[in-house]
């Protein structure tokens, strides 16, 4: 019941915010905090499973489970949502209430994805999550918003439909074996499939997950969306983790044999993504695009680690996802204070805004993978797993880390050092804002120094690779 | 014919007598409100009389069983809603609106006969009774050249379709010696007709019906007629006329299918694939909202034909749920357009909807919901229905159809998003002066509520369809 409340609370409070109009921001904050505490409460009291019938005649259930993996990612989503509420205040010029309602709707969708253990329910949340992002882009977006929203929706919808077909094929395959119509993941995972079937279904599921990840070739929507939708950025940061989550939760346990077969291919793909993203990030002049391609490059690492067939690396992936969300989200928030988004118009800001500069330096160091900072733990654990399965892949990943230092340092240099351009006015952080960014960084440091609590939470994950 | 038979025909008789009453009333006294009221009340009485249905009756021409009663109820309700919007729309027009109701009533009667037909004779009569009043309804706003053009186009092509239909019926009669569906089914079970006479007849009949649901390659009239006709006629054509024709296709398919007719299967598969792809492809770059809906309807009837082909138990549920969901969505789309359109400011291009979100937030939200439903996003009725259609197709392993559906859906998203984006654009100077009456908003809200309810909790609807269908099938 608690878990159902987790879904219902943000949605209903969002609608309330929409109805009240005023106080929407406060309501959104309250809703997220309340939901956060409920999540922790539900996790600590072991109130972790919810089952109810929905459409019995087709075997569709509302089956929610909160295990270590979902718990960690849901906490991160809440933190990101809080940051989004806090950071968006100065950018939202119109439809305030709708923005916060939309944000809460997105949060509901993501919690739904992370909790669903019924494949059809999962699919429904997967598709629904798209609408808030679409609206955010169309209503509050910039110049290229129509193109971006269209690309985004078409990519995600089509890949989603392919996944639906895969889900349904699995459903009928399971029926053929057991005589039971069900979309319940814990039952479907026991279906015995031959190799061809596994490969076909794996391709169907991966289509959806690779688009969300995004992997090389499926990434076209991401830079456009980042460019068009400065506010949506943080929302996208929340959303993007679901692709990796889907692979980890569903693909790896359901198609173990096919995973072994495609692993080298996926690792190659991930490696190509790392290099491609890094090169493009290095050659961009738009901050938003640099961050978009940096994300693509980092997701290459994630894809490699996911298919390295080591539990150690999978844990690393989760830590990487969490720290990546924090560090990139923090950077986005910091950079959203600038009046310009292209590097030509920025420069020498260190003198006028030393606080922003030093905070950005810390976040960038974390993204680059400096030891003692959060991302390092994730990258290290992934690297160990990848090294065990392929040394060449590990080499490529290390190259990716070096390249990330290159493009991030270029970004840092161009913005904060060199000659001060007169057009780059900026207002420095006040104490409260500094504390919040300080909080993000200390969280990263904490994970970097002492990841054990996080790992022990992740150890309580069901159905993660045996 | 016993008195009980007459009683079971009450829905038909009450629609018929309403139309006679309306005709006499117009002859005595012209009153828009009065005619609209009589028509709606008459249809409502017909609807109430269907509720008293208790036992199946198979007459010479009509088959009144639980399944056809269900279809009749759906058609009557759709017709009532169409008339309501017609009333709101025609109030501000110069033309005398009264006869339009008469035409709609007759057409509705035709659709009811079509839905309950049990014989090729009643099928043809129903089809003509459905179509002929529509010729006039399409050309009703006769001061508008486009309207006349649409009427002429429709009359020529529909006349051709009727001729094909008659020829097909004649060929089948020549091959099998019967026009009765029940006897035809029995005779098909006994002898396997694979003669070219019989197959040709079947092909001609399906071609004629494909014209009615505007399946590719019989779709050429659709955009012109949707665009040219007065909005009420378009709405009626897009909902009542097309649904009744589709139901007939399902009925005939269920008769012919058990007797292993691969030719018919391939015919419908090709029709479905072509309709899905061509419909949405042609809608892609369409600027005119009515033409866009017309092309997209071709694609949606492609999905529906796909459900016909997959016809298992699940597919009938999928088909009818899809039909209901699609009709509700189209009623919302055209309903909102009818409420917004003013006599001297037609809404033609999708750009005319620019800024609707600012000016009429409620209507814009409902319109957006309808667009999301057409796109097939979850928690809307068309998603649930599309899900069932895909499920039925996968169950029958119809992979080419599933793949075409995915491609077509991708195109569809592009089509509907182009409309949706205008809703959120900045409004231009054009103001909607027309005040939307609360009751009109209430009807639109009710339709939207149905759309969401069917999307979240379709069980009552699908179970209803399943039980009625099983009862009807067990009747044989």
Instruction: Judge whether residue A263 has pLDDT over 80.
Output: yes
Region A418-437: mean pLDDT is 78
Instruction: Judge whether residue B475 has pLDDT over 80.
Output: no
pLDDT at B352: 84
Domain range list for chain B: 261-476
Residues A241/A325, Cβ–Cβ less than 8 Å: yes
Asked if A168 has any chain B CB less than 8 Å from its own CB, the reply is: yes
pLDDT, one tens digit per residue, over B436-454 is 788 999 999 999 999 999 9
pLDDT at B93: 81
Residues B191/B137, Cβ–Cβ less than 8 Å: no
pLDDT bin (cut points 50, 70, 90) of residue B430 is: low
Most A CBs within 10 Å, among B424, B466, B470, to test the A interface: B424
Q: Do A161 and B406 touch (CB under 8 A)?
A: yes
Residues A318/A292, Cβ–Cβ less than 8 Å: no
Asked if B220 has any chain A CB less than 8 Å from its own CB, the reply is: no
Closest in A57, A124, A154 to B413, CB measured:
A154
pLDDT at B358: 80
Contacts of B364 in chain A (CB under 8 A): none
Q: Which of A95-109, A256-270, B147-161 has the lowest mean pLDDT?
A: A95-109
Torsion sign over Cα B286, B290, B291, B295: positive
CA–CA dist B111, B125 (Å, integer): 10
Q: pLDDT above 90 covers what percent of chain B?
A: 61
Contacts of A130 in chain B (CB under 8 A): 377
CA–CA dist A363, A441 (Å, integer): 7
Beta-carbon contacts of A306 under 8 Å, excluding residues fewer than 6 positions away, are: A244, A247, A248, A252, A266, A313, A314, A317
pLDDT, one tens digit per residue, over B361-384 is 889 999 999 999 999 988 899 999
Closest in B390, B424, B459 to A55, CB measured:
B459
Q: How far is CA A108 from CA A129, A141, A238, in A?
A: 8, 22, 12
| Higher local confidence (pLDDT), A178 or B94 | A178
pLDDT at B169: 95
Region A120-133: mean pLDDT is 91
Residues A143/B393, Cβ–Cβ less than 8 Å: no
Average pLDDT along chain B: 90
Distance from CA of A134 to the nearest CA of B (A): 10
Asked if A123 has any chain B CB less than 8 Å from its own CB, the reply is: yes
Residues B241/B369, Cβ–Cβ less than 8 Å: no
Which DSSP string corresponds to B244-311? HHHHHHHHHHHHHGGG--HHHHHHHHHHHHHHHHHHHHHHTT--BHHHHHHHHHHHHHHHHHHHHHT-
Give this complex's ipTM.
Answer: 0.89
Average pLDDT along chain A: 88
Instruction: Judge whether residue A443 has pLDDT over 60.
Output: yes
pLDDT at B343: 75
Region A158-180: mean pLDDT is 93
Cβ of B380: how many Cβ atoms within 10 Å?
Answer: 26
Q: pLDDT above 70 covers what percent of chain B?
A: 97
pLDDT at B314: 81
Instruction: Judge whether residue A424 has pLDDT over 60.
Output: no
CA B274 to chain centre: 19
CA–CA dist A460, A455 (Å, integer): 9
pLDDT at B429: 62
pLDDT at B126: 95
DSSP label of A213: T
Residues A425/A356, Cβ–Cβ less than 8 Å: no
- The per-residue b/e assignment along B414-441, b for 16 or more CB within 10 angstroms, e otherwise, is bbbbbbbbbbbbeeeeeebebebeeebe
Q: Do B409 and A58 touch (CB under 8 A)?
A: no
Q: Do B458 and A127 touch (CB under 8 A)?
A: no
Contacts of B391 in chain A (CB under 8 A): 58, 168, 171
Asked if B284 has any chain A CB less than 8 Å from its own CB, the reply is: no
Q: What is the pTM of this model?
A: 0.92
SS3 content of chain A, % helix, strand, coil (to 5): 75, 5, 20
Contacts of B372 in chain A (CB under 8 A): 131
Residues B278/B216, Cβ–Cβ less than 8 Å: yes
In a domain, A166, yes or no: no
Contacts of A162 in chain B (CB under 8 A): 406
In a domain, A146, yes or no: no
Residues B208/B161, Cβ–Cβ less than 8 Å: yes
In a domain, A295, yes or no: yes
CA–CA dist A325, B344 (Å, integer): 54
pLDDT, one tens digit per residue, over A267-292 is 999 999 999 999 999 999 888 889 88
Asked if A15 has any chain B CB less than 8 Å from its own CB, the reply is: no
pLDDT at B136: 92
Closest in B379, B409, B414 to A150, CB measured:
B414
Instruction: Judge whether residue A293 has pLDDT over 70.
Output: yes
Contacts of B383 in chain A (CB under 8 A): 127
Q: Do A153 and B417 touch (CB under 8 A)?
A: yes
Beta strand B57-58 with A60-65: parallel, antiparallel or unpaired? unpaired
Instruction: Judge whether residue B432 has pLDDT over 70.
Output: no
Region B274-282: mean pLDDT is 95
pLDDT, one tens digit per residue, over A211-247 is 998 888 888 888 888 888 766 567 677 777 899 999 9
DSSP label of A94: S
Region B64-88: mean pLDDT is 93
pLDDT at A40: 92
Q: Where are the alpha helices (DSSP H) in A284-310?
A: 287-306
Structural domain of residue A457, as residue ranges? 261-466
Asked if B467 has any chain A CB less than 8 Å from its own CB, the reply is: no
If you measure CA to CA, which chain B residue comes closest to A131? B377
In a domain, A43, yes or no: no
Instruction: Judge whether residue B435 has pLDDT over 90.
Output: no
CA–CA dist B331, B351 (Å, integer): 21
In a domain, A60, yes or no: no
Instruction: Judge whether residue A466 has pLDDT over 50.
Output: no
Q: Do B458 and A55 touch (CB under 8 A)?
A: yes
Asked if B391 has any chain A CB less than 8 Å from its own CB, the reply is: yes
Q: Do A57 and B459 touch (CB under 8 A)?
A: yes
Q: Do A157 and B413 touch (CB under 8 A)?
A: yes
If you measure CA to CA, which chain A residue comes closest to B461? A55
Report whether the peptide linkage leading into residue B217 is cis, meaning its omega lies within 30 degrees of zero.
Answer: yes
Cβ of A310: how many Cβ atoms within 10 Å?
Answer: 19
Contacts of A150 in chain B (CB under 8 A): 414, 417, 421
Distance from CA of B376 to the nearest CA of A (A): 9
Asked if B379 has any chain A CB less than 8 Å from its own CB, the reply is: yes
Instruction: Judge whether residue B133 has pLDDT over 90.
Output: yes
If you measure CA to CA, which chain B residue comes closest to A170? B394
CA–CA dist B204, B173 (Å, integer): 13
Residue among A82, A152, A67 nearest A117 (CA): A67
Q: How many domains does chain A have?
A: 1
Q: Do B390 and A164 touch (CB under 8 A)?
A: yes
pLDDT bin (cut points 50, 70, 90) of residue B301 is: very high
pLDDT, one tens digit per residue, over A372-414 is 898 999 999 999 999 998 899 999 999 999 999 999 999 999 8
DSSP SS3 for B47: helix
H/E stretch holding A163? helix A145-178
For residue B173, with 0-12 CB atoms within 10 Å meaning exposed, 13-18 middle and 19 or more buried, which class applies?
Answer: middle
CA–CA dist A19, A3 (Å, integer): 25
Most B CBs within 10 Å, among A21, A52, A57, to test the B interface: A57
pLDDT at A392: 92
Asked if A150 has any chain B CB less than 8 Å from its own CB, the reply is: yes
């Amino acid at each position: 019941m608690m878990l159902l409340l987790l879904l219902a609370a943000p949605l209903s409070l969002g609608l309330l915010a929409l109805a009240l109009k005023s106080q929407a921001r406060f309501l959104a904050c309250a809703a997220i905090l309340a939901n956060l505490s409920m999540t922790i409460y539900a996790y600590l009291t072991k109130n972790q499973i919810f089952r109810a019938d929905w459409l019995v005649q087709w075997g569709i259930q509302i089956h929610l489970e909160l295990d270590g993996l979902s718990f960690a990612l849901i906490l991160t989503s809440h933190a990101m949502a809080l940051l989004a509420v806090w950071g968006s205040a100065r950018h939202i010029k119109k439809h305030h209430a709708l923005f916060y309602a939309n944000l809460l709707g997105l949060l509901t969708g993501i919690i739904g994805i992370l909790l669903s253990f019924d494949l059809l329910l999962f699919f429904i949340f997967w598709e629904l999550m798209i609408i808030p992002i679409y609206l955010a882009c169309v209503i509050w977006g910039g110049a290229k918003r129509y193109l971006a929203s269209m690309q985004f929706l078409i990519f995600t919808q089509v890949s989603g439909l392919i996944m639906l077909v895969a889900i349904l094929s699995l459903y009928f395959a399971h029926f053929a074996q057991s005589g039971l119509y069900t979309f319940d993941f814990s039952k479907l995972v026991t279906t015995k499939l031959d190799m061809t079937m596994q490969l076909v279904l794996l391709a169907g599921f991966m289509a959806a997950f690779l688009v969300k990840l995004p992997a090389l070739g499926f990434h076209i929507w991401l830079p456009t969306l980042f460019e068009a939708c400065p506010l949506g950025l943080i929302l996208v940061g929340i959303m993007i983790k679901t692709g990796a989550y889907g692979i980890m939760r569903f693909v790896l346990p359901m198609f173990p044999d096919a995973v072994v077969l495609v692993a080298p291919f996926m690792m190659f793909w991930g490696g190509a993504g790392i290099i491609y993203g890094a090169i493009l990030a290095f050659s961009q002049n738009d901050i938003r695009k640099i961050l978009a391609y940096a994300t693509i490059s980092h997701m290459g690492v994630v894809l490699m680690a996911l298919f390295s067939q080591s539990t150690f690396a999978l844990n690393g992936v989760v830590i990487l996802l969490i720290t990546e969300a924090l560090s990139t989200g923090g950077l986005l928030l910091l950079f959203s204070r600038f009046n310009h988004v292209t590097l030509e118009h920025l420069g020498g800001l260190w003198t006028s805004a030393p606080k922003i500069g030093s905070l950005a330096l810390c976040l960038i160091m974390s993204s680059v993978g400096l030891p003692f900072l959060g991302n390092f733990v994730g990258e290290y654990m992934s690297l160990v797993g990848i090294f065990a399965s392929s040394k060449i892949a590990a080499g490529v990943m290390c190259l990716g880390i070096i390249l990330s230092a290159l493009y991030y340092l270029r970004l840092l240099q161009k913005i904060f050092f060199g000659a001060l351009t007169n057009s780059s006015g900026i207002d420095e952080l006040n104490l409260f804002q500094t504390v919040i960014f300080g909080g993000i960084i200390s969280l990263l440091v904490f994970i970097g120094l002492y990841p054990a609590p996080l790992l022990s939470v992740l150890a309580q994950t069901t159905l993660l690779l045996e | 014919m016993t008195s009980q038979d007459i009683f079971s025909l009450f829905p038909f008789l009450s629609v018929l007598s309403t139309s006679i009453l309306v005709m006499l009333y117009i002859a005595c006294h012209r009153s828009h409100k009065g005619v609209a009221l009589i028509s709606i009340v008459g249809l409502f009485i017909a609807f109430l009389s269907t509720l008293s249905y208790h036992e199946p009756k198979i007459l010479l021409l009509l088959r009144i069983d639980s399944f056809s009663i269900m279809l009749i109820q759906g058609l009557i309700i759709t017709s009532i809603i169409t008339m309501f919007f017609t009333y709101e729309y025609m109030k501000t027009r110069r033309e005398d609106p009264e006869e339009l109701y008469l035409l709609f009533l007759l057409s509705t009667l035709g659709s009811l006969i079509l839905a309950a037909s049990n014989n090729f004779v009643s099928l043809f009569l129903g089809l003509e009774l459905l179509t002929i009043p529509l010729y006039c309804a399409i050309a009703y706003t006769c001061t508008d050249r486009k309207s006349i053009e649409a009427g002429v186009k429709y009359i020529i092509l529909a006349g051709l379709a009727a001729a094909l239909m008659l020829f097909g019926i004649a060929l089948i009669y020549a091959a099998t010696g019967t026009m009765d569906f029940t006897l035809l089914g029995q005779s098909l079970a006994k002898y396997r007709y694979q003669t070219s006479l019989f197959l040709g007849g079947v092909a001609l009949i399906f071609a004629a019906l494909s014209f009615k649901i505007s399946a590719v390659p019989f779709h050429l009239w659709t955009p012109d007629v949707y665009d040219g006709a007065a909005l009420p006629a378009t709405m009626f054509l897009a909902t009542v006329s097309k649904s009744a024709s589709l139901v007939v296709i399902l009925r005939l398919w269920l008769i012919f299918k058990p007797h292993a007719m691969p030719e018919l299967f391939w015919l419908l598969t090709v029709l479905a694939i072509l309709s899905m792809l061509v419909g949405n492809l042609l809608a892609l770059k369409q600027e005119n909202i009515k033409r866009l809906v017309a092309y997209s309807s071709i694609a949606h009837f492609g999905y529906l034909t796909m459900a016909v082909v997959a016809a298992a138990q699940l597919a009938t549920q999928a088909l009818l749920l899809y039909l209901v969901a699609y009709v509700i969505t189209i009623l919302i789309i055209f309903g909102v357009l009818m409420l917004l359109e003013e006599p001297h400011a037609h809404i033609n291009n999708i750009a005319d909807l620019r800024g609707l979100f600012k000016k009429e937030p409620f209507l814009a939200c409902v319109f957006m919901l309808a667009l999301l439903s057409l796109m097939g996003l979850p928690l809307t009725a068309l998603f649930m229905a599309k899900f069932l259609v895909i499920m039925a197709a996968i169950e029958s392993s119809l992979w080419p159809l599933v793949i075409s559906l995915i491609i077509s859906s991708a195109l569809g998203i592009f089509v509907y998003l182009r409309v949706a984006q205008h809703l959120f654009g900045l409004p231009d100077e054009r103001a909607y002066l027309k005040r939307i009456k609360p009751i009109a908003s209430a009807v639109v809200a009710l339709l939207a509520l149905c759309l969401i309810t069917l999307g979240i909790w379709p069980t009552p609807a699908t179970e209803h369809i399943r039980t009625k269908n099983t009862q009807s099938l067990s009747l044989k």
